[in-house]
Each structure stands twice: as structure tokens, then as C-alpha cells.
């Protein structure tokens, strides 16, 4: 019975099929389904009832009450403040983090810097590179000025060998596996990078982390073509999923947690890629609004929030007469459905017609806004670009637009306005309610309907 079951697995989401198909029904990906050997230990679907009679009797275990004394999770501070902010105050002992991102975004750079920072404060750190030779990693560390740090280094890809090595002596505080897609386990007969291999390796490493108390960071490349399994196939197994984002045209990178069993998921860490590695950006608002054109219509500063941290961002709109029968609506960094909604409200309650115009909306610096609080700023830049009236460059805007045309209050207004005041802004266009705790130095201009906003911009 050594014959192996053949299965077809989507390399993007891990869905399993009995035969090959061009499109994955589960995630909608095209050409992502590849043939693999079924893992020997996995139960064969449909065989459960047949095997039930042979199943050995289970061992009963003790159930516990939900209430009970549990010590606060012990954490290891990495020493990189922006990283620690995203993890929720350091790496929890015995936890496994997945750091995902596009190839070349700077994952290895970030993690070698974090390793060195932890090692310099006395932590035992092991960095396993499956992609680069030790000489390459060493060269990079030298370029980053970290060559002197006591990080233990290896270029290995076999998970059993890695765990055997790590299990000798005292457990390290932090183990970096760069990347999970290059790892392979000899217990599984699929090629490295396939869903079965990636899952099996992640499982072994998670078991190692739980039993030894070491924090394990798995690096995962986000893949678009599905040729190798994406980090999504292990997302459900790990304790935290952190993505490292940014685009090639900009120097800054954002670290964001999308799942975290030990901390918040709405914090971001901001870094700038420099010639000497990643530098932490302590005041991101200043970075994101720097270098803006202060004498152009169609731009405004939105006072946003990322988690507990206020962040000022520049939003830009271009409204231009269209030659097309269906004018273009292009949105980068914001939700196109919200653009449609704001345009409908401006039309219905502000009597502004955008029908014959192409509209482009952009959030400067490659940022992505998800808050409804940006509605009012979006409405303001659309009006500004359509009518050619400038929004004064000492003004920030924040508020949510309702379908009735009313401007609704937003949360954490005091923090947003304090950030604006700190960065030298003098005025804020805001909803009429929810302004408790606003700093004294800021001139608040409240608008209660979209009609108020139109009138307010027409005046200036
Ligand atoms: P890397 O950390 O290798 O990316 P990943 O591990 O996510 O694939 O980063 C590679 C990019 O970073 C590369 O294009 C060069 C750039 N880089 C710098 O700009 N400055 C530096 O000091 C370093 C080390 C890399
Ligand atoms: Mg790398």
C-alpha cells in the first residue's frame, strides 16, 4: 500500500480537489491548482466511517474553568519600536508570527535588523536563511553595520535538521525562518513551496515553538501567480500575521498586523528604506504630508487614524472634462464605492454635477485609507478640483458623509486634531458634533451638511 494518492491543491488558498481544474472555486484564482501527493497522515475524505471501528480509544482529559490565574504572556522586546508596536509590545514566548510581503519589499532586511537589535540586548537569536547563502546574509549585515552582533546564522532548508539543531542547548529567544516557502520536510513527498510542504513545515515549527518557548518568525512571500504557495495557507495556524507593505516607487514601508492573538490588529509601524537599511519613522504624519504642492486645487489633508495613532495624509482629486460616454473613475488608496457614494451625495444634496467629468482620486505616498472619516475630505477635494477653489494649506479635514447629506461625527477627534495642531495646522473643517477635547490653538469650522461644505468652499 505504498501507492500515493494524488490530489490537486490550490497553491494560493489550499483548497483540495480530486482532479485538475483551471480555476479554483474557493478563491477564484486562475491556474493556481497543482498536483501533489496526498500527505500520508491526512485523513482521506470519505474514509472516516470505514476507519472508525479501528480507531483506538481516546484518552480522557481534565477540563478546566474559564476563570483562573493566568500569568501575563511573557514578551521579548525586539528593540525596534515600530515593530514592537505592531506585535503589541514584543514577541510573546512560544508564539509564531508570519511576516508576509511582496518579494524585495525588505522582509529580510527588517528581520536581520530586528535580530541584531535583540541580540545586542542579550537575546539568543538564530537566523535560518533558505534563500541566501550565509555569505550573502553576512554581506548584507555588514552593509547595515550589524556585522558585530551575535546572531547565529545558517543556510538550511530541511525542517527536521533545523529543529534538531535548535533543540541542542538552551532554546533561543527568537528564530527567523526566511522563508517558509523554501523549507521542506522529509516526511512529506511534495516539492518545496507546495501547499502540503509549506503546511507541514509550518506545523513542525509551530510545534517546536510551543514546546521550547522560542518565538518563531516565518517569512512568507506573497505570490500572485500561485506557482508557490502563498502565506495565506498557514495564516490560520500562526499566532500573528503581519504584512510588510509599500510600493517600489516610494521609500517608506508599513508594517501592519492583520491577525494577532496577543495584541491589537490596528497598529501600524512605519519605516523608511534607506541606503543603510530600514529606518524607523517616529513621526509619520510629517513624512506623508511633506513635499506637497501647496498651491493646487483638488488637494487636502485628511486627519486620519491608524489604530491608536493619528496620521495626516494628503488626498488628491482631479476632475477633468471627459470625452468618453462613460467617464472614468479611477481611485488609488481609497474605496471606489465610497467615491460613488460621495459623488451621489454631492449631486443630490450639493447640486454639483460630475456626470460629464473623468475623476481621479489618489492618496499621496501610496497609503490606503479605509476609514469612513475620509468622506468629507474626499468631498472637499472633489468640489475644489471641480470649481478650481483652493483649500487653504493650513487646513485639515475630517468627517463622515451620510447619504442624507448630513456630516456625521467621527471617533477620536481630539487625537486627530492634536496631531494637526502639533504639525502646525491652524484650521480644521469638521462635523459639528464630537469635538470634545479639541486643542485650543486650532480654529474649528464645523459643517453639518454637505451643502454647508459647498457653501464654505465657494466662499474661499
Ligand atoms: P530584502 O530585505 O532582500 O527583501 P525581501 O526579503 O522582502 O525579499 O530587500 C531587498 C530590497 O531592499 C532591495 O531591492 C534593495 C533594498 N535595500 C535598500 O534599499 N537598502 C538596504 O540597506 C538594503 C539592505 C536593501
Ligand atoms: Mg528575503
Digit-by-digit pLDDT tens for the chain (460 residues) are: 455 678 898 888 888 898 999 998 988 888 888 888 776 654 444 444 444 455 568 888 889 888 877 777 789 998 899 999 999 999 999 999 999 988 889 999 999 999 999 999 999 999 999 999 999 999 999 999 998 889 999 999 999 999 999 999 899 999 999 989 999 999 988 888 888 899 999 999 999 999 999 999 999 988 766 556 677 889 999 999 998 987 666 788 889 888 999 988 878 888 998 888 999 988 888 877 877 777 789 999 999 998 778 899 999 999 999 999 999 999 999 999 999 999 999 999 999 999 999 999 999 877 889 999 999 999 999 999 999 999 998 999 999 999 999 999 999 999 999 989 988 899 999 999 988 888 888 999 999 999 999 999 877 6
For residue 55, how far is its CA from the centre of ligand 2 (angstroms)? 44
Nearest to 278 by CA among 144, 129, 146, 79: 144
Cβ contacts of residue 124 below 8 Å, gap of 6+? 152, 170, 171, 172, 173, 174
Output the CA 446–ligand 2 centroid distance in Å.
49
The residue nearest atom 9 of ligand 1, judged by CA position, is 106
pLDDT number for residue 192: 86
What's CA 11's distance to the chain center, in Å? 21
Cα–Cα distance for residue pair 90/263, rounded to 1 Å: 10
Given this model, what pLDDT does residue 37 score? 79
Atom of ligand 1 nearest to the CA of 101: 7
Return the pLDDT at 74.
85
In the prediction, which pLDDT does 39 show? Answer: 67
Nearest protein CA to atom 23 of ligand 1, as residue: 277
Distance CA 429, CA 85 (A): 30
Rounded distance from Cα 107 to ligand 1 centre (Å): 8
Q: What whole-number distance in Å separates Cα of residue 72 and Cα of residue 92?
A: 10
Nearest-CA residue for atom 8 of ligand 1: 104
Q: Is 117 helix (H, G, I), strand (E, B) or coil?
A: helix
Is residue 319 packed enough to be buried (19+ CB in 10 Å), middle (13-18) or exposed (0-12)? buried
Pocket test for ligand 1, best of 99, 104, 145, 280 (most atoms within 8 A of CB): 104
For residue 244, the ligand 1 atom closest to its alpha carbon is 7
Three-state DSSP state, 382 = helix
Closest-lying ligand to the alpha carbon of 131? 2
Q: Give the atom of ligand 1 at the shortest distance from the alpha carbon of 102.
A: 7
Q: How far is CA 362 from the centre of its chain?
A: 19
pLDDT of residue 44: 45
**Which residues line ligand 1 at a C-beta cut-off of 6 Å?**
101, 103-109, 140, 143-144, 273, 275-277
Q: Ligand 2 mean position to 129 CA, how many Å?
A: 8
CB-CB neighbours of 22 under 10 Å:
9
Q: Pick the ligand that lies closest to the CA of residue 250.
A: 1
Q: Which of 154, 106, 147 is nearest to 126 (CA)?
A: 154
- The reported pLDDT for the residue numbered 347 is 95
pLDDT at 48: 46
CA of 394 to the centre of ligand 1 (A): 36
Give me ligand 1 centre to Cα 209, in Å.
Answer: 27
Shortest-distance ligand to the CA of residue 243: 1
Burial 182-194 (b: 16+ CB within 10 A, else e): bbbbeebebebbb
How far apart are the two ends of the chain, measured CA to CA in Å? 82
**pLDDT (0 to 100) of residue 47:** 47
Amino acid at each position: 500500500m505504498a501507492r500515493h494518492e494524488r490530489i490537486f491543491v490550490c497553491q494560493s488558498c489550499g483548497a483540495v480537489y480530486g482532479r485538475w481544474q483551471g480555476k479554483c472555486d474557493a478563491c477564484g484564482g486562475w491556474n493556481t491548482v497543482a498536483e501533489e501527493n496526498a500527505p500520508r497522515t491526512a485523513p482521506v475524505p470519505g474514509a472516516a466511517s470505514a476507519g472508525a471501528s479501528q480507531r483506538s480509544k481516546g484518552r480522557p482529559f481534565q477540563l478546566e474553568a474559564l476563570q483562573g490565574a493566568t500569568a501575563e504572556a511573557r514578551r521579548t522586546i525586539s528593540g525596534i519600536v515600530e515593530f514592537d508596536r505592531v506585535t503589541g509590545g514584543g514577541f510573546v514566548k512560544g508564539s509564531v508570527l508570519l511576516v508576509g510581503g511582496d518579494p524585495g519589499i525588505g522582509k529580510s532586511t527588517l528581520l536581520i535588523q530586528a535580530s541584531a537589535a535583540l541580540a545586542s540586548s542579550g537575546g539568543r537569536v538564530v537566523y535560518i536563511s533558505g534563500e541566501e547563502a550565509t555569505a550573502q546574509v553576512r554581506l548584507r549585515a555588514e552593509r547595515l553595520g550589524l556585522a558585530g552582533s551575535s546572531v547565529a546564522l545558517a543556510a538550511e532548508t530541511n525542517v527536521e535538521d533545523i529543529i534538531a539543531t535548535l533543540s541542542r542547548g538552551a532554546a533561543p529567544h527568537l528564530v527567523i525562518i526566511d522563508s517558509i516557502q523554501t523549507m521542506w520536510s522529509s516526511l512529506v513527498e511534495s516539492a518545496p513551496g507546495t501547499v502540503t510542504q509549506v503546511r507541514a513545515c509550518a506545523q513542525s515549527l509551530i510545534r517546536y515553538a510551543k514546546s521550547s518557548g522560542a518565538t518563531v518568525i516565518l517569512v512568507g512571500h506573497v505570490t500572485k501567480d500561485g506557482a508557490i504557495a502563498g502565506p495565506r495557507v498557514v495564516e490560520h495556524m500562526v499566532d500573528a500575521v503581519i504584512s510588510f507593505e509599500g510600493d517600489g516607487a516610494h521609500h517608506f514601508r508599513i508594517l501592519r498586523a492583520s491577525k494577532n492573538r496577543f495584541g491589537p490588529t490596528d497598529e501600524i509601524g512605519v519605516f523608511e528604506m534607506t541606503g543603510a537599511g530600514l529606518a524607523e519613522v517616529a513621526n509619520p504624519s510629517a513624512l506623508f504630508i511633506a513635499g506637497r504642492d501647496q498651491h493646487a486645487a483638488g488637494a487636502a489633508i485628511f486627519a486620519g487614524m491608524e489604530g491608536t495613532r493619528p496620521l495626516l495624509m494628503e488626498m488628491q482629486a482631479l476632475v477633468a472634462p471627459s470625452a468618453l460616454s462613460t467617464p472614468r473613475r479611477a481611485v488609488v488608496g481609497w474605496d471606489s464605492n465610497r467615491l460613488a457614494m460621495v459623488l451621489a451625495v454631492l449631486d443630490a444634496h450639493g447640486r454639483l454635477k460630475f456626470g460629464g467629468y473623468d475623476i481621479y482620486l489618489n492618496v499621496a505616498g501610496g497609503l490606503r485609507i479605509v476609514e469612513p472619516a475620509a468622506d468629507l475630505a474626499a468631498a472637499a477635494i472633489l468640489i475644489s478640483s471641480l470649481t478650481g477653489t483652493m483649500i487653504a494649506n493650513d487646513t485639515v479635514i475630517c468627517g463622515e458623509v451620510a447619504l442624507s447629506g448630513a456630516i456625521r461625527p467621527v471617533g477620536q477627534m481630539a487625537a486627530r486634531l492634536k496631531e494637526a495642531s502639533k504639525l502646525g495646522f491652524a484650521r480644521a473643517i469638521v462635523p459639528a458634533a464630537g469635538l470634545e477635547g479639541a486643542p485650543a490653538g486650532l480654529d474649528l469650522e464645523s459643517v453639518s451638511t454637505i451643502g454647508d461644505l459647498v457653501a464654505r468652499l465657494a466662499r474661499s
